[in-house]
Amino acid sequence: MSVPLTAPSFDDIRAAESCLKNIIIRTPLLKLNYDMPGIEIYLKCEQFQLTSSFKVRGASNIVKMLTAKEKENGIVTASSGNMAQGLSWIAREENIKCKILVPDTTNEVKLKAIERLGGEITKCSFDEWFQVIINGQCPMLDGYFIHPVRNRHVMAGHGTIALEILDELPECDAIFVPYGGGGLITGIVSAVKHLKESVDIFACEAETAAPLSAALNANEIVKIPIKKSWIDAIGHANVMKEMWPLVKDSIDGSIVVTLKETADALKLLIERNHLICEGASATALAAILWHYQRLLENNKAGLRRKPGDEPIKVVAILTGAGIDNTTIIKCLNGTL
């Protein structure tokens, strides 16, 4: 019988912080150059990470935990790009092989980045790839399999983001997290709720694939239809069953944003703060700009501290920068 997946403990996250101290970058927390009444918006810029994504945190933490025996045949993962880059980078640092199973929908920017970092790519259909994600094993590739989401040490590495946020902005009231598989938000929650329980944590999803919102509304995992879009780093047909118990009662809700809202948020990031990030990242800012104020007004945000003389301080986690030039141009032209 398999052991149920558990969220990382706060000690796990502190240990990850120590492990990653001389490996990853402490990314900047920047204030958005945009006035929103009663709210100050900050941006945790994980696109400035070594591999242009937060995933290098979890990837490095788990690889550093492996024994020499576990690493002797190299490591394997299934990833649409960001985890693949993180593992490829740390594998190169550790001088071990890294084999990546990618869905054939992965964009060329991410594929080239994986190859540049030394990852060995094997392509398959999205359905085949997703089956590997569900089963948690990759029989077609030889090596130690590292699940991109369902791994306590991966989640602990991601949770170090929250330590940095609260160290720099201890008065933080809410954090908005793009939701893909649930590993990032579980790591964030595990750290934040230990340090400052009053902070609200919201998942952010795109309208084309929002399985967490559907599951929260139904109070159970449901399969939903998904549509392919330019937001390609998040969104599946359903929440992973192993992640559902970790997420459902620990977050303050999921906010679903439209493609237009996400494109407008990305355009704002580029024009106001001169920041480039992928579509998944922009969902967090879109949730704040076009949904959070309404939730506050309707007293549905779950916010512990109500708006007053002091502005509410919120953070959008910008998870990565895997976006191509054509998409950026369309965004700036308003044709995305």
Q: Taking residues 268-276, what's their average pLDDT?
A: 97
Cα distance between residue 109 and residue 127, in whole Å: 22
What local confidence, expressed as pLDDT, does residue 67 receive?
96
Nearest partner of 178 among 80, 323, 286, judged by Cα? 286
Burial of 324 (0-12, 13-18, 19+ CB in 10 A): middle
- The Cα-based distances of 111 to 94, 123, 140, 306 in angstroms read 21, 10, 19, 45
Which residues form the catalytic set?
55, 80
* Mean pLDDT for the stretch of residues 45-54: 95
> What is the pLDDT confidence band of residue 47, given thresholds at 50, 70 and 90?
very high
The pLDDT assigned to 162 comes to 98
Residues shown for the chain: 336
Residue 235 pLDDT exceeds 70:
yes
Strand order in the sheet with 200-206: 29-31, 39-45, 312-318, 174-178, 200-206, 254-257
Domain at 56-145, CATH class: alpha beta
Residue 117 or residue 1, greater confidence: 117
For the chain, which residues make up each domain, given as ranges? 10-54+152-333, 56-145
pLDDT digit string (tens) for 199-227?
999 999 999 999 999 999 999 999 999 89
Mean pLDDT value of segment 273-282: 96
Least confident of 120-129, 176-185, 279-288: 120-129
CB 81 within 8 A of CB 119: no
Contact partners, residue 333, CB within 8 Å, separation at least 6 = none
Name the least confident of 57-66, 76-85, 192-201, 304-313. 304-313
Under CATH, what is the fold of the domain 10-54+152-333?
Rossmann fold (3.40.50)
pLDDT above 80 (res 78): yes
Domains 10-54+152-333 and 56-145 share a fold: yes
pLDDT in the model for residue 297: 75
Mean model confidence pLDDT for the chain = 93
Please, which pLDDT band fits residue 58 given cuts at 50, 70 and 90? Answer: very high
> pLDDT at residue 305 above 60?
no
How confident is residue 5, by pLDDT bands cut at 50, 70 and 90?
A: very high
What H or E segment, with its residue span, contains residue 279? helix 279-287
Q: What is the pLDDT confidence band of residue 299, given thresholds at 50, 70 and 90?
A: low
Q: What is the pLDDT of residues 125-178, one digit of tens each?
A: 988 988 898 889 999 999 999 999 999 999 999 999 999 999 999 999 999 999
Q: What pLDDT is stored for residue 301 in this prediction? A: 53
Give the range among 25-29, 83-87, 229-233, 305-309 with minimum mean pLDDT.
Answer: 305-309
pLDDT over 60 (residue 304) = no
Written as six digits, the tokens of 128 are 């085949």
Q: What is the pLDDT of residue 1?
A: 44
Collapsing DSSP states into helix, strand and coil, what is residue 127? Answer: helix
What's the average model confidence in pLDDT over 257-277?
Answer: 97
